[in-house]
Amino acid sequence: MTFHDSTATQVTNITLNVANLTKMTQFYTEVLGLTLASKDDALAILNIGNSGHTVTLRAITDAKKPAMSEAGLFHIAFLVPTRADLANFLYHAASLGIQVGGGDHLVSEALYLSDIEGNGIEVYQDRDATTWQWEDDYVKMDTLQVDAEDLVSQRTTEGWQGMPSQSKLGHLHLKTANLESARNFYITQLGLQHISHYPQALFMSTNQYHHHIAVNVWQSTQPRLDNDHSLGLYHIDIYKPNAQNETSISPEGFSVTVHSNRTTVPE
């Protein structure tokens, strides 16, 4: 049993509403190193390594930016397999002049940036799970400064060659409107476990991962008002073992499809 195998409930795809499909596709392939699976005038589907996980870009017209107070995407998090991969990405992003932040979360080291339409992105590498600290049934997490100089020193001579084959959609962090509504949807209905204490947030997972999905109310106070025409997160696909294929509306105001298609999860 691992954190992203077929026994783990996990996000397998997110769909983003985008204003410029061509430029956003270029960003996700050339900057992040995802591979293009298919593209037409309306959609681009991008593979995350060989994981089966995907990002779908959906072109919309008359696109509008949602208010900061609306629920939506906080960040999508791409998990790379080694610290050297993370170092290679940091050097690559810096060489492109992309502003990158960082956070040492005890369980992982993370880099933060935004795509060209303002969607939050995390690229991270997990520390060995045997080093994670637990208090009762809750894993300890924090946000400390990343030692960027030490991290960059781990880069390889080959450098960043795109998302490594073992990369995956590690977790999804959402802006929600109400923590109790989110708790009912993701824990009571979907079956995730509350795994870590964090102010004004819920970190949730299966298989004792530090989180597959997190939600917070740090900025948001209301659901998405017009999901079809708003830029940003539009739809989520979630794998759950033995689930029936079912789509519903999340407390954040976008559609969520829960499925059990094992071809969309890492082996």
Per-residue pLDDT, 1: 55
**pTM recorded for the entire structure:** 0.97
Contacts of 157 (CB under 8 A, 6+ apart): none
pLDDT digits (tens, 9 = 90+) for 45-74: 999 999 999 999 999 999 999 999 999 999
The closest of 67, 94, 76 to 24, measured between CA atoms, is 76
Average pLDDT over every residue of 256-262 = 98
**Cβ count within 10 A of residue 259:** 17
Model confidence pLDDT, tens digit, residues 2-30: 899 999 999 999 999 999 999 999 999 99
Counted residue by residue, the chain has a size of: 267
Give me the domains of the chain, ranges plus CATH numbers.
10-264 (3.10.180.10)
How do the residues of the chain divide into helix, strand and coil, expressed in percent and rounded to 5? 20, 35, 45
Mean pLDDT estimate for the chain: 97
User: Strand 10-18 to strand 54-59: parallel, antiparallel, or no bridges (unpaired)?
Assistant: parallel
Q: To which H or E segment does residue 85 belong?
A: helix 83-95
pLDDT tens readout for residues 145-154: 999 999 999 9
Q: How far, in Å, are 213, 217, 237 from residue 253 at the CA level? A: 16, 14, 14
